[in-house]
Amino acid sequence: MDANDKQACAELIQTWGLYRDQGKWPQLLATFVPDGRIAVSWFSGSFRDFVHRSRQAFDAGQRSKHQIFPSIVRGAGDRALAETNIVILVRQRIADVLIDMTSHARFLDRLERRDGRWAIFERAAIYERDRLDPVEPSPAFDKLFAATDLSVYPEAYRYMAARLVAAGRALAPVVYGDGSPHTAQLYARYEAWLEGA
């Protein structure tokens, strides 16, 4: 894999974040292959369905910001793996308290070159740590979380999970975090795929 291919893959990952945050749905769809799949905290399935659900949330006024750092890209022929540090920022109202959620995570991507163009084939978000903060100091915020048992959620995505549940949304069947068997299996599967399996 040459430097131009690595640059194309890295730029694709950057543009994904811009299109997702700005609600540019046709452009966002084009970052993945048509049969692409994605697994994040709140969704696991086809990328087309992810875009549809993201658009519904966007149209309902829910916004997020993805800060995407430089990617590490490795390739073999028309296949590539990329790992990218990200920070996800979300503002949301929970029980009349305006909060900011900050989640540190990584995107692990399988990319393919089809008809001379790179696109993402599969993405999994791997969560590392997160936090919730009130936008303004508020005794209501303290009461909100004093009444909530957050220990039921893994530490890597504890507050992401709490805000999703508070918004009436379900967690994906598998949410990846460092140290879990699911995450180790994910890495092994991606590596085997890069090697041609």
User: Is-above-0.85 flag for pTM?
Assistant: yes
Buried b (16+ CB within 10 A) or exposed e, 37-58: bbbbbbbbeebeebbeebeeeb
According to the model, what pLDDT value does residue 149 have? 76
Q: Which pLDDT does position 45 carry in this prediction?
A: 96
pLDDT tens for residues 19-57? 999 999 999 999 999 999 999 999 999 999 999 999 998
The pair of three-digit structure tokens given for residue 71, joined into one six-digit string: 């990617």
Q: Using one digit for the tens of pLDDT, what is the confidence trace for 84-138?
A: 999 999 988 887 888 899 999 999 999 999 999 999 999 999 999 999 899 988 8
pLDDT at 6: 94
